Structure 1
Amino acid sequence: MVFYALCVTAELENLTDLQPLGGCSDPEYAYYFKVKCENCGETSQKEACVTLSDSFQLPTGRGTANLVQKCKLCGRDGTIQMLPGHGEPLTLQQSQSGSEAMLMVFDCRGFEPIDFSFGNGWKAESTSGARFEMDLSEGEFVEYDEKGECPVGISNLRASFKVVKKHERAGKTTFV
């Protein structure tokens, strides 16, 4: 098993805490990305849709996963299980320093997630405390914060999947 963290970065203008509407562990937020078969290297043509609220029986019959799919080329099964509680929103400070925020961790078996697609269902808070909901499918967001009397925006939005390691310490699981 390999753990992949979905990491995002962006240039935030007068905004902070960029994340899915219900938070990083929102059970209804749909993460869309392509998958690459670890056996034959085939990349899916369509994006997979993975949500915490979906649960499918594993081919072995022992357990469930949030995504169970066969590779179209070699026929091997692949599964992805989301691991909630390890994500954090992208803050203004992280944006200014060029750092990434880890939104979600995926336990992948047989597949590697690639090419995350931003879509609708995101939120952020302005530096004045105004809340904004947004569609990031175009890769940017521009608005005016009437409360703070300033422009707000998101640009240079990027996502990547990074291999992370699981650490158990004092009964707490972390990923680095």
Structure 2
Amino acid sequence: MVNYLLKITAELENLTNLQPQGGCDDPDFSYLFKVKCGRCGEVSQKETCVTLNDTVSLPVGKGTTNLIQKCKFCGRDGTITMTPGRGQPLTLETSESGKYAPLMLFDCRGYEPVDYVFGGLWKAESLEGTKFENIDLSSGEFAEYDEKGECPVMISNLRATIDMVK
């Protein structure tokens, strides 16, 4: 059992609390990344999608996981199980300090997640309290105007890291 913690950061202008639309533990939010096979080292060509709501029974023993996928190169099965409760929104303070905010913990067996892709819908709020929802970060940035605060708001320079944790 190896756990990987997905962490994100970005440059936030007049925004804070960047997180998936339904919160860090949103059961419908899709995490997209490429996976590397633990046996042969092959990296998937397409992004793998993992969602908390999607569960499948383990082929051996009892329990469930969020993804079972066979390596197209060597044929070995791997599983990815999401562990909610570790995620936090990316705050302006965290962003300005150059730190990363934890988003989701993955228990991986046979696979290692690599190259996270910012997909799905996100939300954030301005420093004046205006809520911005349904933010699409797939293009790598977001820009809008906060009428209440009379200032531009922006998300840019999105970065993710996937760290092995114990």
Q: TM-score, normalised by structure 1?
A: 0.92
Count of residues in Structure 1 that have an aligned counterpart in Structure 2: 165
Deviation (angstroms), 1:62: 2.5
Describe the SS at the equivalent of 1:43.
Answer: coil
Structure 2 portions without partners, runs of 5+: none
Partner of 1:27, secondary structure, is coil
Per the alignment, residue 168 of structure 1 pairs with none
Q: Distance in 2 between matches of 1:64 and 1:43?
A: 24
Q: Unaligned regions of 5+ residues in structure 1, if any?
A: 166-176
Equivalent pair of 2:5/2:106 in contact (CA under 8 Å): yes
Q: Secondary structure of the residue that 1:24 maps to in structure 2?
A: coil
Greater length-normalized contact order (CA 8 Å, ≥ 6 residues apart) = 2
Matched ranges for 1:1-176 at <5 A: 1-133=1-133, 134-165=135-166
- Residues 30 and 120 of structure 2 are in contact (CA less than 8 Å); yes or no, is this contact kept in structure 1? no
1:119 Cα deviation from its structure 2 partner:
1.7
SS in 2 for 1:62: coil
Measured after TM superposition, the shift of residue 61 of structure 1 is: 4.3
Q: Which secondary structure state, in structure 1, belongs to the residue aligned with residue 26 of structure 2?
A: coil
AA aligned opposite 1:30: S
Contact 1:59 1:77 in 2 (8 A): no
Q: Distance in 2 between the 1:119 and 1:33 partners? A: 10
Tell which deviates more after alignment, 61-70 or 148-157. 61-70
Q: Percent identity?
A: 68
Return the alpha-carbon distance in structure 2 between the equivalents of residues 72 and 61 of structure 1: 24
Please list the CA deviations of residues 1-56 of structure 1 after superposition, one character each: whole Å capped at 9, or x if unmatched.
11000010111000000000000000000111111001100111111110000001
Q: Which amino acid aligns with 2:29?
A: Y
Instruction: Output the CA distance in 2 between the equivalents of 1:23 and 1:88.
Output: 9
CA distance in 1, matches of 2:79, 2:120: 25
The Cα shift of 1:59 comes to 2.2
The answer to whether the 8 A contact 2:30-2:119 is kept is no
Tell me the CA shift for residue 107 of structure 1: 0.3
TM-score normalised by length of structure 2: 0.97
Distance in 2 between the 1:58 and 1:46 partners?
Answer: 23
SS of 1:22's equivalent in the other structure is coil
